[in-house]
Amino acid sequence: MNGVNETIEHLLYYASENLDLGVEDIMYARNQLLELFQAQPSDKKGQPKDLQTEILDELIAYALDKKMIEAGEEIRFETKIMGLVTPSCGLVVSTFEEYRDNLGIKVATDYLYNISIASNYIRLCDIKRNIFWCTLGKYGKVGITINLSKPEKDPKQVLAEKSFQGKKYPKCALCLENLGFPGTLTHPARQTLRVVPIELNGEKWHLQYSPYVYYDEHCIALNDNHVPMEINANTFARLLDFVEIFPHYFLGSNADLPIVGGSILSHDHYQGGKKVLPMFSRPFREIIYQDDNVVMGIKDWYNSVVTIKGKNKQAVHKMADRVLKKWIAYSDESVGILAYTTDRHNTITPIASMCGDEFVMDLILRNNRTDDKHPFGIYHPTEDMHNIKKEGIGLIEAMGLFVLPGRLQAEIKEMISILVSGEVDFIELKENPRMQKHMHMIAEIVAENNQPLDRLTARKLVLKKIENACFRILECTAVFKNNEEGQEAFIRFIKTI
C-alpha cells in the first residue's frame, strides 16, 4: 500500500485527466484532501491508476484503519472525496452551455454524462454487475435487467426513517437542494451531483443523469420546485419543449396516480435518455386519424398506446391534450373500464420523442382501479407475479424494460440449486422465507420437465419463467386487451376523440 499522500497525488492526476480539473483547482483540492486525511504533501508525482481499486479502495481502507469513518459509511465518504475533485456546479453549467452553443447539444450532453461517470456519481463499478438480457415476444423484444446498484434498504435504515421526526432537508431525493448534500443514513450523499438548467414551457427546470442508469444516458428532468406530479396540458408542453432542445433523447412522465405511477409522486419530474427502450421500435398497428398536421393511431405494443405524430408541435400538443381529457372521463363497462368510482382512475403515461423532424407523442392509457378480485389493481400484475415484480409499473417497464429487484440475483441461483438437487422438498421450501414466494414457479418447472435437470437447463427454465412473467405483467397493464373485443373497444375510444 502506498502512503496516503501518494494516493492523493494519483487521485489529483486522475482528476486533471478525466474531470478537466485545472491547475489552480488541483492545488486547491490537494490542500482540502491533505486536511481531510491529516497528511503531508508527497514529493512524488501522481500516476495513472484505476479510480476504484487503486485509489478509492485504498483511501477507504486508510480511513477505516484510522477510524475516520465506520463500516457502512464507505460510499458516503467516497462521494465526499470525489466531490473535492469534481469541477464546481457553476463551471459544469458554463462548460455545458458553451458546448451547447458552439458544438451542439449532443456534445453538451456527452460532456455532462461523462463528468457524471468520471466523478463516480454514476458508479460504473456497481452498474457493471447488473444482469441484462433481451427476449422476443409477440409484439417485439423486451429487456430485463436485475439492478444491483440501487441499494435495497436494510432494516436499520427503515427504522431510522420511521423514527425520523424532524423537518426533512432536502425534502426528497429529487430536490435541487441535493447539490453538495453530504448524505445521511437514509439519504445518499450528493457532492458529485451536477445539473444544468433548462427551460420547459417557460418554467425553470434542471436536467441531471440518474445515478442508477437503467438504460443508456438515463436522465431526469426535475422541477425546481418540490411540487407533486400531475399530468395535464402543461406536461405535454414541457415534454415537447424538451425533445425540441434534446432531439437525441426522449422524455416521458410517470402517471400521476398510485399503482400505475412511479416511486416518487411528491416531486414533479420526468425520465428521459437515449431512445433505446423497446417500445420505440414498434410501428403503428392501425392508423385511425390523419389530417395535414397529425397522424394518430394505435401502436403495435403489449399495452394500450395512442401514438400521435406530426411536424407541427402545437398540433401534436393539442391532440395529446384532447386524448387526455377524453380518456380521464372515459368509461366502457363492456371491457371493465370505469373512469370514476369514489376516486378518479384514468390517467396517462406520456412519452415524447423526435423522429427526424416529426414530434412523436406516445400516450400509454392507464387505469388504477381495484376490486375484490384484484386488490392490487385490475391492470396490475396479479399476486402470482409479485415474486418477480410487485411495485408500481412505471413508464420504463410500460415501455418494455423491466427493472427487477437486486434480490433476484441470489434467488435465481438458489432456485437453480433446488432444481438440480433431484428431489425438490416442497415442505422445506414452504418454510424457507426467501424461496416461499417462488414455490409456484418451481412447482411448474418440476411438473413441466423431466427430472433430474442439469444446471444449464435449470437456469434456462428459470429465466424463461421470469421472461413470461414480464410479458404477462405488460399485458396486465393493457386497459384494452390485445384481443378482438379489446381492440374494437380501443378503436371506439379513439373515434370519440
Applying CB under 5 A, the residues found at the interface with Zn ion are: 171-172, 174-175, 226, 267
| Closest approach of Zn ion to the CB of residue 267, in Å | 3
d(CA 37, CA 34): 5
Q: Which residues contact 445 (CB under 8 A, 6 or more apart)?
A: 419, 453, 458, 461, 462, 465
| Closest approach of Zn ion to the CB of residue 109, in Å | 23
Q: At what angle do helices 57-65 and 23-37 cross, to 10 degrees?
A: 30
| Closest approach of Zn ion to the CB of residue 264, in Å | 8
| Closest approach of Zn ion to the CB of residue 313, in Å | 29
Half-sphere exposure in the Cβ direction for 75 (13 Å, CA) = 18
| Closest approach of Zn ion to the CB of residue 223, in Å | 8
| Closest approach of Zn ion to the CB of residue 173, in Å | 7
Nearest CA to 239 among 363, 368, 402? 363
| DSSP structure string for 139-150 | TEEEEEEEE-SS
Residue 227 or 287: the one with the smaller Cβ distance to Zn ion is: 227
Residue 178 or 307: the one with the smaller Cβ distance to Zn ion is: 178
| Closest approach of Zn ion to the CB of residue 169, in Å | 10
**Is-contact 299 279, C-beta < 8 A?**
yes
d(CA 376, CA 127): 31
The kind and range of the H/E element at 440 are: helix 439-448
Residue 172 or 424: the one with the smaller Cβ distance to Zn ion is: 172
Largest CA distance in the chain: 80
| Closest approach of Zn ion to the CB of residue 174, in Å | 5
Cell of 106: 449532443
| Closest approach of Zn ion to the CB of residue 21, in Å | 30
**Phi, psi at residue 225, to the nearest 5°?**
-110, 145
Residue 30 or 267: the one with the smaller Cβ distance to Zn ion is: 267
Single-letter residue type at 62? Y
Residue 10 or 206: the one with the smaller Cβ distance to Zn ion is: 206
Residue 267 or 465: the one with the smaller Cβ distance to Zn ion is: 267
| Closest approach of Zn ion to the CB of residue 178, in Å | 8
DSSP percent split of the chain into helix, strand, coil, nearest 5: 45, 20, 40
Half-sphere exposure in the Cβ direction for 460 (13 Å, CA) = 6
| DSSP structure string for 356-394 | TTEEEEEEEEEE----SS-TT-TTS--GGGTTT--S---
- Output Rg (C-alpha) for the chain, integer angstroms: 25
Residue 173 or 494: the one with the smaller Cβ distance to Zn ion is: 173
> Cα dihedral angle (264, 268, 273, 276), rounded to 10 degrees?
60
Half-sphere exposure in the Cβ direction for 437 (13 Å, CA) = 14
Residue 150 or 187: the one with the smaller Cβ distance to Zn ion is: 187
